[in-house]
């Protein structure tokens, strides 16, 4: 669960000078606290500070709360010495907000005390200056108390905190071995714990094999019934392959539970239909069901893309495994998607299970998932890795539009980036994205930019 710290403050020198000021500011801070308490997060509200000593005490409480984001509400002028210890001692990203009571002052009736309630913007540059000199990233939202556009900007930072929380606590499963020749997919596993705090659990296909062996016929039948409720079954589905995918699905659920996984990337080449090849080929049904439940499970050993899928998932945008499939220059769209597992929650219709006698580029056969992503705004998010090892978020916004699609057991969508498709591909490829990413619903680039900021990694947008 995402943990948010909240502290409000103002300069205590004012309180005896203007007796009506503090109660007004405390009422504003209660409203802000109520807004945060209604968000999907655990909020630690340490109250109102009036001097540097109270700021230090608040810092100690927030440090113990181990927050994913701390929000400083500047209700009126305060000194930077009051808030610097909070940013320094907690070692947590800080968002400064200053929300004056209404859209504007009533100049004809206001005295100094009434004006000071509108003076929360005054210390924002001061705090920004001191944070910069202290080497602390600075971010702020300025507005008025009930300004919904300001709250939408604040919510972007809360969404970013959701991503930070998910990635720093995540346990990523990595099963099998690298798809031979895909050098872009190779990831330094140490980078995830050192960059995000995540754990990578390296698994063997035998970890899945022993669990699939324990699946009963009754459990397999129940999983097939579940699949019939979730999917439309194409006539090409072979009963034996369907049953095998269901059995593997039950074993996958046990694997995820036993290792406490938040994501799973896998690949096994196999040979001549041996058991491990059959396990790898039977993953698509179960991996899609896991992904639809919020546990991204992705083929081709794509660890970085499952990280991106987890990031898009926790902000409610789904996130389906994706690559470029073709360009349509007449319609001005990029056709993208992938074979294998997909995020069922973002399908434009009931997802289809199609039987395939061959998986292109992979050994094995079985059932695969086919659908188009919901039409409307989408955002791509990928996780790049540069020459020096730095990880980055890379994003692009577009719109999924209707039109003809291949019926070959792949998820495929037509994405309009409102520019020449070839030019988009060139610019997208120059970012260092790799050839897979997460296709998420909604225009979310601002959320992903904020998340990159909280995570301390670069952000690139096409």
The pLDDT value given to residue 356: 65
Instruction: For the beta carbon of residue 126, count every other beta carbon within 10 angstroms.
Output: 15
pLDDT score of 20 more than 70: yes
Q: Answer yes or no: CATH 1.10.3470 is held by domain 169-461.
A: no
DSSP E strands: which ranges in 241-319? 263-267, 297-298
Is the pLDDT score of 350 beyond 90?
Answer: no
- Mean pLDDT of the region 42-57: 95
Model confidence at 406, in pLDDT bands (50, 70, 90)?
confident
Say which CATH topology domain 3-146 has.
Rossmann fold (3.40.50)
Question: From CA 439, how far away is CA 410, in angstroms rounded?
Answer: 14
pLDDT at 438: 94
Alpha-carbon distances of 190 from 48, 171, 306, 455, rounded to whole Å: 41, 13, 16, 16
Query: What's the predicted TM-score (pTM) here?
Result: 0.92
Domain ranges in the chain with CATH number 3.40.50.10940 = 3-146
More confident residue, 189 or 412: 189
DSSP 295: -
Tell me the pLDDT tens digit for each residue of 135-179: 999 999 999 999 999 999 999 999 999 999 999 999 999 999 988
Least confident of 227-231, 303-307, 329-333: 227-231
Closest CA to 309 of 299, 300, 298: 298
Instruction: Report the half-sphere exposure of 440 (CA within 13 A, side-chain side).
Output: 32
Q: What is the pLDDT of residue 337?
A: 84
**pLDDT tens digit string along 240-283?**
888 999 999 999 999 999 999 999 999 988 888 788 888 988 88
pLDDT band of 359, cuts 50, 70, 90: low
pLDDT in tens, 208-232: 999 999 999 999 999 999 999 988 8
User: Which of 159-163, 321-325, 347-351 has the lowest average pLDDT?
Assistant: 347-351
Q: Rounded mean pLDDT of 15-42?
A: 94
* Residue 455: pLDDT band with limits 50, 70, 90: very high
What lies within 8 Å, CB to CB, of 129 at 6+ separation is 80
Instruction: Please list the residue range(s) of the chain that carry CATH number 3.20.14.
Output: 169-461
Q: Is the pLDDT of residue 361 over 70?
A: no
Residue 365's pLDDT is 58
Residue 345: the pLDDT is 81
Residue 4 has what pLDDT? 96
Phi-psi region of 294 (alpha: psi -120 to 50; beta: other; left: phi over 0): left
């Amino acid at each position: 669960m995402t943990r948010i710290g909240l502290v409000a403050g103002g300069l205590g020198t004012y309180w005896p000078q203007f007796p009506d000021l503090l109660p007004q500011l405390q009422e504003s801070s209660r409203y802000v606290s109520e807004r945060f308490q209604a968000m999907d997060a655990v909020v630690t509200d340490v109250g109102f500070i009036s001097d540097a000593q109270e700021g230090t005490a608040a810092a100690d409480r927030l440090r113990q709360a181990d927050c994913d984001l701390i929000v400083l509400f500047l209700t009126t002028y305060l000194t930077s010495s009051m808030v610097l210890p909070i940013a320094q001692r907690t070692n947590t990203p800080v968002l400064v907000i200053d929300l004056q009571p209404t859209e504007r002052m009533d100049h004809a009736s206001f005295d100094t005390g009434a004006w000071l309630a509108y003076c929360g913007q005054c210390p924002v540059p001061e705090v920004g200056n001191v944070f910069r000199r202290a080497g602390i990233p600075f971010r702020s939202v300025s507005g008025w108390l009930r300004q919904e556009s300001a709250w939408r900007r604040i919510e972007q930072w809360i969404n970013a905190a959701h991503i930070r929380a998910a990635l720093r606590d995540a346990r990523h499963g990595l099963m099998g071995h690298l798809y031979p020749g895909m050098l872009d997919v190779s990831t330094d596993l140490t980078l995830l714990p050192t960059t995000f705090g995540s754990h990578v659990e390296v698994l063997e296909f035998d970890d899945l094999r022993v669990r699939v062996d324990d699946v009963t016929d009754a459990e397999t039948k129940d999983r097939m019934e579940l699949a019939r409720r979730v999917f439309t079954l194409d006539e090409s589905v072979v009963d034996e392959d369907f049953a095998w995918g269901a059995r593997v699905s039950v074993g996958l659920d046990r694997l995820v539970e036993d290792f406490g996984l938040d994501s799973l990337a896998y690949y096994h080449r196999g040979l001549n239909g041996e058991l491990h090849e059959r396990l790898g080929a039977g993953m698509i049904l179960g991996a899609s069901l896991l992904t639809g439940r919020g546990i991204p499970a992705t083929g081709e050993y794509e660890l970085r893309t499952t990280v991106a899928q987890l990031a898009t998932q926790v902000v409610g945008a789904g996130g389906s495994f994706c690559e470029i499939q073709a360009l349509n220059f007449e319609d001005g769209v990029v056709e993208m998607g992938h074979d294998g597992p997909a995020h069922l929650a973002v399908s434009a219709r009931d997802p289809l299970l199609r039987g395939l006698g061959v998986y292109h580029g992979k050994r094995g056969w079985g059932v695969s998932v086919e659908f188009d992503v919901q039409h409307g705004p989408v955002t791509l998010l990928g996780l790049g890795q540069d020459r020096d090892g730095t990880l980055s978020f890379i994003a692009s916004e577009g719109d999924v539009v209707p039109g003809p699609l291949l019926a070959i057991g792949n998820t495929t969508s037509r994405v309009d980036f409102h520019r020449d498709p070839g030019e988009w591909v060139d610019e997208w490829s120059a970012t260092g994205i790799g050839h897979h990413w997460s296709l998420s619903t909604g225009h979310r680039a601002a959320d992903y930019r904020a998340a990159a900021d909280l995570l301390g990694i670069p952000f690139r947008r096409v």
